[in-house]
Structure 1
Amino acid sequence: MTDAEFAGFRSAAARAFADELAATGGWSPEEALERALQGSAELLPQGRATPGMLLLTAVLDDGTAVGWLWLGLTHPRGTPDCAFVYDIEIAEGHRGAGLGRALLAAGEDVVRSHGVAAVELNVFGDNARAIGLYTSAGYRVVTQQMRKDLGA
């Protein structure tokens, strides 16, 4: 990922995560965006040069960037020998063509080349498209968080 791509990635990734937080976590859009930006700043204090973080860009044959993958070589909860997918995104017009699966596979190859044996991720429960991608790529559910809204 180039510096220019990183600038676009950081704002787009925060916005997408904030939208999910607001939709599923009960935060206002403003609070969700603040949380997303703060989390990104904490995880990437040196930007794309942050040690242990991998930022890959999906690029078409013509050079057009159409997506990204953000991986950490260590797991945020300390799971041994396990990397973590923080974010993956393919541009709307390019989804469904196998690019997400190819980008995941490329990221897994990079993780493996660093000697890490597994990779995990979190996915929002209502994101059927992402769940389908991860399942078809060989990911399985290892934990599950559930919620019931109780009303006022």
Structure 2
Amino acid sequence: MTVRRVTLRKMTAAEYRAATEHREAESVRVLSRLMPADLARERVRLGTARFLPDGLDTAGHHLLTAENDSGAPVGHVWVGPDPGQISGSANSGWLYDIHVFEPFRRRGYGTAVLAAAEALLAGEGRTVLGLNVVGDNEAAIALYRGRGYEVSSMVMRKSTTDG
């Protein structure tokens, strides 16, 4: 596979709205497995308001569009401070969202976007990048493992009504 490279730039307002709509819809889809859809929508909306109180201009957060060598947008990424880090510790970052647009999937762009985000955070002095991934998202898990990510905790569940 060809090694891809991307350039990250701040999202435009329109890109931010589209990325937020996509991220929230995907989050609601996943959370709706665990709770009623209306509750999932409210929880996701509150999460966006909590983590991005100033939207695209929230301090410490990078909401970025990834462009390929031709300047075409191939996806987006949101990285920022680790929401679980101890107050005052700035060495840990968090990958809140990464999305590669459909025409560019399975072509190395996910790896390139993730590598560029890691480099950005390393340049800020962050030494660790954490993330959450849904357990059945095998493509994302493969991407993260391929970049050297390790499982640091695991939550499992089973319905007690399944025979």
Say yes or no: TM over 0.5: yes
Letter in 1 for 2:35: W
Q: In the alignment, which residue of structure 2 is the partner of 1:67?
A: 75
2:35 pairs, out of 13, 19, 27, with: 27
Residue number among 11, 23, 37 corresponding to 2:21 in the alignment: 11
Q: TM-score, normalised by structure 1?
A: 0.91
Query: Gaps spanning 5+ residues in structure 2: where?
Result: 1-10
Note if 1:87 corresponds to 2:87. no
- Partner of 1:78 in structure 2? 85
- Could you say which structure has the greater relative contact order, defined with CA pairs below 8 angstroms and 6 or more residues apart? 2
The percent of aligned pairs where both chains have the same amino acid is 37
Instruction: List runs of 5+ in structure 1 lacking aligned partners.
Output: none
In the other structure, the counterpart of 1:55 is 63
Cα distance change, pair 9–113 in 1 and its aligned pair in 2 (3 A): same
TM-score (norm 2): 0.85
Distance in structure 2 (CA, Å) of the matches to 1:63 and 1:34: 36
Residue of structure 2 in register with 1:116 after alignment = 126
- Select the structure that is richer in helix: 1
* CA-atom RMSD in angstroms: 1.5
1:23-73 superposed Cα distances (whole Å, 9 cap, x missing partner) = 3xx21223212211210111001111101111111223444323111111x
Where 2:26 maps in the other structure, the secondary structure is: helix
Q: Can you list the C-alpha shifts for 1:81-135, whole angstroms capped at 9, x where unaligned?
A: 2100011111122111111110011101110111111101000111111000100
